[in-house]
Chains A and B, each alone.
Chain A
Amino acid sequence: MEVILKTNNLTKKFGKKIAVNKVNMTINKGDIYGFIGKNGAGKTTFMKMVLGLSTPTSGEVELFEGRKVKEVGLKIGSLIESPGLYRNATAYENMYRFSIIFGGDDKKIKELLKLVGLSKVGKKKVKDFSLGMKQRLGIAISLLGDPEFLVLDEPINGLDPAGIKEIRDIILKLNKEKGITFLISSHLLDELSKVVTKYGIIDHGRLLEEVDANELLERCKNKLVITTKDLEKTKKVLKQLVKEEDIKIKDNNIEILSHVKEGEKINKLLAENGIYASSIYAKLESLEDYFIDKIGDTFEKID
């Protein structure tokens, strides 16, 4: 499978602060890679290095099988932080100007403006656009020139729920129909989980984990929560049956990531060892719970 993005120990320091710390990321063709991390975790800095907007302190970025951004820039579309737009120009004029270097003709511009719901804004200047409209226009610009890889930093920021759904549908459509690969960062985990095929979790500049969406769903399903008076003793007893790394003490409970369907057997084992559980139940962990558990902070939730 073609590797679209590969970073090798990518590092960025600002003075003594390490913003991105030896990140090794791999994105294959067709992936929709969800890049998750709290504010200041290093997502935007990482994306900027991928796009050549920021120079790495050390490490390498390889695009489309070992090439540099200078060689393959035209194959990449991007939307980093707030969209870069000519404020005193109309949506069409913005599209036209960027089409000069990105590629695309009048037909394509109109088609993309329609795709993002901006075909009827007429002569309204970008400076008078709402945040959501600017975001949509930024996405339309990133799609000029039919890119094969799209890097979107918080693409649904400022969009209303209907707008979020539209963007989600666009992402899925482009991925399925045109095989476009995506690297998307977002705080809205529920929304991200509806499109993403692979996750990367970053915290304090370190890529903590890369996991497939399906695998993550599996992990989220498997959890048995046991409540007892003596958690340490319970854990010790459970080790007879369950691997130590699958046993976690959390919120005055014990969570087991395996043997979910063997609640009866576990209850019996505990009873035999003089431990009486006040409750045992299987829990379906949400993606948000999983990420909070990994990163240890709260995320924004969409209504």
Chain B
Amino acid sequence: MKKLIKLELRNILKQKSFLICLIISNALVIIGILASSFLNKMIIEAGGSEDLFLGVNAFDTYMGYITGGNITLLLAIVISIYFGSEASDGTIKNIIAKGYTRTEFFTSKIISVIFVTLIFILTALILNYLMCFIMGININAFSLKHLIQIGSASLSILAETIMFSALSFIIFKTGANIVANICIPLLLPLALTLLDVLSKSKIKVSDFWIETTTTLSRDTSKIPVILIVSTCYIIVFILLSSILTKRKEIK
């Protein structure tokens, strides 16, 4: 299993789309900070209040980025290609034929996906604070509370990437993986909101959509909800993929 994880880590880190998406992700962090910094300076130069600029800090820009959806969109692409290329290249059969089970194979892939997700989250964090320092944006506002908020947002993103992985392993075709992993986060929340409106129920199912919970991570009172929902997503999607792929024919 250890060797399989080593192989999978090498596979994902050597994947071109990983590098491209990581560059795009970090470029978005830089562009976001530059844009907000220049915008605020323009407002001040135009005679606006300096309070506006003081209201922006490194923690807010970071949380705005990781809960904004761009990072999960980029991860969805990386994961879709990562699983899809395994199918199109036919390399999975070399691994299964060596006696590894589909569950071991999927587990090693999940570990690689978690590792890559953490790389995305951490590089964005480091770059965000570095850019804020360079641009003179307040970086002092970092406390345990902030750490918990970042942690819960990260867990929520991890749950989402595990969902993408599970769907990709079930579908196992690059094109279809990308379509599913991009369309589902776009269309499902709309469908769930519509369901809430039509059902007029007090419990809104759309609140339990993983992306919705990610955006809640700024509110510390919602952190238990985020933890529960994220854990449920992780368990459900790992189980689902294990069951559906247990007897999968390898082409």
Q: Choose the segment among B10-18, B26-34, B37-45, B124-132 that binds chain A (4+ C-beta atoms closer than 8 Å).
A: B10-18
Main SS at interface, chain B = helix
0 or 1 for each of A60-101: is its CB under 8 Å from B? (1 = yes): 000000000111111010101111111111000100011011
- Interface size of A by CB at 8 A reads 32
Q: How far is the CA of A25 from the CA of B161 in the complex (A)?
A: 45
A85 near B98 with CB under 8 A, answer no
Please tell me if A55 contacts chain B, counting CB pairs below 8 Å: yes
Please tell me if A274 contacts chain B, counting CB pairs below 8 Å: no
Please tell me if B90 contacts chain A, counting CB pairs below 8 Å: yes
- Chain B residue at minimal CB-CB distance from A68: B99
B97 near A80 with CB under 8 A, answer yes
A70 near B94 with CB under 8 A, answer no
Please tell me if B191 contacts chain A, counting CB pairs below 8 Å: no
Q: How far is the CA of A226 from the CA of B89 in the complex (A)?
A: 55
CB-defined A-B contacts under 8 Å, sample of 6 = A53-B96, A53-B249, A55-B247, A81-B90, A82-B90, A98-B94
List the B side residues contacting A151 at CB < 8 Å: 97
Q: How far is the CA of A52 from the CA of B96 in the complex (A)?
A: 7
- Chain B residue at minimal CB-CB distance from A98: B94
Q: What is the count of residue pairs linking A and B with beta-carbon distances less than 8 angstroms?
A: 78
Please tell me if B227 contacts chain A, counting CB pairs below 8 Å: no
Contacts A52-B99, A84-B92, A89-B14 aside, 20 further interface pairs with beta carbons under 8 A come to A51-B93, A53-B97, A55-B249, A69-B99, A70-B100, A72-B99, A73-B98, A73-B100, A78-B93, A78-B94, A83-B90, A85-B91, A86-B91, A87-B89, A93-B14, A97-B7, A98-B94, A100-B3, A100-B6, A101-B100
Closest chain B CB from A88 CB (angstroms): 7
Please tell me if B250 contacts chain A, counting CB pairs below 8 Å: yes
Q: How far is the CA of A76 from the CA of B101 in the complex (A)?
A: 15
Q: How far is the CA of A283 from the CA of B129 in the complex (A)?
A: 87
Q: How far is the CA of A29 from the CA of B101 in the complex (A)?
A: 26
Closest chain A CB from B246 CB (angstroms): 9
Please tell me if A143 contacts chain B, counting CB pairs below 8 Å: no
Q: How far is the CA of A101 from the CA of B100 in the complex (A)?
A: 10
- Chain B residue at minimal CB-CB distance from A72: B99
Closest chain B CB from A193 CB (angstroms): 27
B96 near A100 with CB under 8 A, answer no
Q: How far is the CA of A111 from the CA of B143 in the complex (A)?
A: 57
Please tell me if B4 contacts chain A, counting CB pairs below 8 Å: yes
Contacts of A90-137 to chain B: CB distance below 8 A: 93, 97-98, 100-102
Q: How far is the CA of A80 from the CA of B89 in the complex (A)?
A: 13
List the B side residues contacting A93 at CB < 8 Å: 14
List the B side residues contacting A72 at CB < 8 Å: 99
User: Pick the contact of B249 from A54, A80, A98 — CB < 8 Å?
Assistant: A54
List the A side residues contacting B247 at CB < 8 Å: 55
Q: How far is the CA of A51 from the CA of B11 in the complex (A)?
A: 23
B90 near A84 with CB under 8 A, answer yes
A84 near B91 with CB under 8 A, answer yes
- Chain B residue at minimal CB-CB distance from A147: B98
Please tell me if A168 contacts chain B, counting CB pairs below 8 Å: no
A54 near B91 with CB under 8 A, answer no
Please tell me if A204 contacts chain B, counting CB pairs below 8 Å: no
User: Pick the contact of A76 from B4, B6, B98 — CB < 8 Å?
Assistant: B98
Please tell me if B184 contacts chain A, counting CB pairs below 8 Å: no
List the B side residues contacting A97 at CB < 8 Å: 7, 10-11
Please tell me if A141 contacts chain B, counting CB pairs below 8 Å: yes
User: Pick the contact of A101 from B4, B90, B93 — CB < 8 Å?
Assistant: B4
Please tell me if A22 contacts chain B, counting CB pairs below 8 Å: no
Please tell me if A48 contacts chain B, counting CB pairs below 8 Å: yes
Q: A85-B90, A101-B3 are in contact. Are A48 and B250 (CB under 8 A)?
A: yes
A86 near B11 with CB under 8 A, answer yes
Please tell me if B95 contacts chain A, counting CB pairs below 8 Å: yes
Q: How far is the CA of A257 from the CA of B106 in the complex (A)?
A: 56
0 or 1 for each of B56-96: is its CB under 8 Å from A? (1 = yes): 00000000000000000000000000000100111111111
Q: How far is the CA of A81 from the CA of B89 in the complex (A)?
A: 12
A100 near B98 with CB under 8 A, answer no
List the B side residues contacting A53 at CB < 8 Å: 93, 96-97, 249-250
List the B side residues contacting A81 at CB < 8 Å: 90
- Chain A residue at minimal CB-CB distance from B102: A52
- Chain A residue at minimal CB-CB distance from B14: A89
